[in-house]
Amino acid sequence: MNNRPPLAQRSFSSSVIEDAIADVSRRIGDPEIAALFVNCFPNTLDTTVTLDGADSLRPDTFVVTGDIEAMWLRDSTNQVWPYLRFVSDAPDISRLIQGVINRQVQCVLVDPYANAFHREPQNSQWVTDHTVMTPELHERKYELDSLCAVLRLSYGYYKVSKDHSCFDARWMEAMRKIVNTIRNEQAGADEAEKCDYRFQRDSRDPTETLASGGYGQPANRCGLSKSPFRPSDDAALLPFLIPANAMAVVCLKQLAKIWTEVCNQPADAAEATALADEIESAINKHAIIEHPEFGKIFAYEVDGYGSHYFMDDANIPSLLSLPYLGYGSTSDPIYQRTRQYVLSPANPYYVTGKAASGVGSPHTGRGTIWPMSLIMQALTSESEEEVRHCLYCLRDTHGGTGFMHESFLKDDASNYTRSWFAWANTLFGELILTTDSKFPGLLESL
């Protein structure tokens, strides 16, 4: 079941990655899971990347999300994230990821409110959206986690490589723009002069547009930062998305380390740290809510007025993914209670069917399960048996394609959405590598 494109048709190839695929796959006891790893782990490299200027001082890597010819800031970080562990041994991977960082910087400088970009300026299918569209943009749905993803990749690359060649004047300008945007979006509904972002789309689907003239539902200034859209690209119900704010806390503190250790910019470091502390304090005050069954857990969204929404979505950042993103630990009691809630019928987007049980998303409707949620369940588990269970579920729900999908029906895994979704594929590869190191011997015993 090797469904990789022929070598000559791959968009990028690295001998170090090929060696890792061969080494790990031959130690996986279940041949179908081994084949999934062989197909999925290199999928981003095989099919989605275009590297220009590999030998220049400023490489440029454009990463399409898969079946959509556009680059999402969030997806591009997650698509290359599992390859970071190889940069010390693979200069070609190092240059590729430098190029992603450079391209993300370029995108942020064009528009920090946009979530997806074209490789070259062109008219978007969303050119008629009621917002400030320019030819560089594919879509302009502002998602806080998109900006966090840019910070995460820069720090993740620096942490493993200690290379800071990317952190030039343009990078610093983009980072300041990110911090300013996150801070501006702390504004409440009565601070119209500070609300720079509006978005409306001519659509009958309410998740595709924002209420209140494009400003979204009212928010009360409380220290949290707004995210009008979720990582699913769906409109938020309440303006403060807690998983994205938690991710911002982590990533702003990481940015502060780069400002201090590399750029010698103490004022910028202090500003990033102060913003992170402000958001973290607001999470503790406004987002930890008493649930009638599970006790104190994290809400998914709040508005700062006291309203909250209990749910979780398979897309990352999610409540389930918080320790994976570095916010707290898997042993934290609030996270443990939240995790129990998320993986229960109390979560309106957790479903059980003939094919599997797992978290889905409003993006694909109730009754669907996302492989991404099963992968994240395993990545945040301390139970070898739970990880084994998730791996078997993923094995049994790929619909005979050899790849992960966006979602599948709970009773019929052959009925799925998005046959080419590189983020989910690469994340599955990350799960296999993580399992290999975290639970020695588990892969062999499958």
List pLDDT tens digits, range 291-344. Answer: 999 999 999 999 999 999 999 999 999 999 999 999 999 999 999 999 999 999
94, pLDDT greater than 80: yes
Compute the average pLDDT of residues 264-285.
Answer: 98
Q: What does the pLDDT look like over 392-437, one tens digit per residue?
A: 999 999 999 999 999 999 999 999 999 999 999 999 999 999 999 9
For residue 68, the tally of other CB atoms under 10 A from its CB is: 16
What pLDDT shows up at residue 192? Answer: 63
DSSP 195-257: -----B---S-GGGS-SGGGT-S----SS----SB-TTSPBPSSSEEHHHHHHHHHHHHHHHH
Contact between residue 271 and residue 295 where contact means Cβ atoms under 8 Å apart: no
What pLDDT shows up at residue 374? Answer: 98
Q: What does the pLDDT look like over 165-195, one tens digit per residue?
A: 999 999 999 999 999 999 999 999 988 666 7
Among residues 177, 143, 152, which one has the least CA distance to residue 72?
A: 143
Confidence band for 77, pLDDT divided at 50, 70 and 90: very high
CA distance 98 to 149: 14
No. of helices (H) and no. of strands (E), the chain = 14, 15
Across the chain, what does the average pLDDT equal? 97
Distances from the Cα of 218 to the Cαs of 114, 119, 209, 211, 244, in angstroms? 21, 35, 15, 9, 18
Share of residues in the chain with pLDDT > 90 (%): 96
CA distance 61 to 119: 10
Q: Which domains does the chain have, with CATH numbers?
A: 7-445 (1.50.10.10)
What pLDDT shows up at residue 191? Answer: 84
Q: What does the pLDDT look like over 208-262, one tens digit per residue?
A: 999 999 999 999 999 999 999 999 999 999 999 999 999 999 999 999 999 999 9
Element (H, E) at 315: none
